[in-house]
A and B are shown apart, each in its own frame.
Chain A
């Protein structure tokens, strides 16, 4: 069964450092998303990406965040200067194109736990 793969599974970084979280979406999917889940809290939308550009971003996704699909298979989330409050589980998701509402399903990766110290 195809799956979304995320690496690394856990990353520890010092405050102020840049981190790149990597995702390999399901191969025939064209819609990509990043969500995050702070421990014990709800899953929050960060950004959606389609056709090599951002479709929507939330208020969380400020100038410190960026996304890229560098090589047609990977989908990355970069945080330029991490803050303590960026510590969370980050989930990548992808969905089949186009999401016309018929059995639309977002497939989630297993997540990357980011710890900022």
Chain B
């Protein structure tokens, strides 16, 4: 069962442009919505995350937009830089206080972002 659908699979953006990556989920029990960033040869690292009680969260050039009714959330990277070139994963989870499975992440398929200088 594919609980998380991420798009696009790859994205090429000019330096200074906006990168947008989308994630749709099925499980309404998800209550925490992180984005992970992975560089080649490294493990995924948390980039930014949002709780469902807000519709948007911004940290520097990175913004998450959350649409609970549509069961979608997206990552926006403003003023994209070559150093942002990486693979991005959405990986929602159900937190433990919802009787979950102790923080298991449900990864999307990943988006390979390339930012051209």
Contacts and interface: CB of A to CB of B under 8 A. Distances in A.
Whether A associates with B in a native complex is yes
Contacts of B42: 110-111
Contacts of A31: 102-103
A33 interface: yes
B97 A109 contact: no
Nearest to A113: B41
B109 A99 contact: no
Q: Interface SS of chain A: helix, strand, loop or mixed?
A: strand
B43 A55 contact: no
Given A42-B89, A101-B95, A104-B95, A95 B103 contact: yes
Given A33-B104, A44-B107, A56-B102, A104 B32 contact: yes
A108 B44 contact: yes
Contacts of A56: 101-102, 104
A98 B104 contact: no
A111 B102 contact: no
Interface in B34-87: 34, 36, 41-46, 49, 51
10 contacts: A4-B43, A31-B102, A42-B109, A43-B91, A43-B105, A45-B107, A98-B96, A99-B102, A101-B97, A103-B49
Interface of B: 31-32, 34, 36, 41-46, 49, 51, 89, 91, 93, 95-98, 101-110
Pairs of residues from A and B, 7 with the lowest C-beta to C-beta distance, nearest first: A101-B95, A108-B43, A99-B103, A43-B107, A56-B101, A42-B109, A55-B102
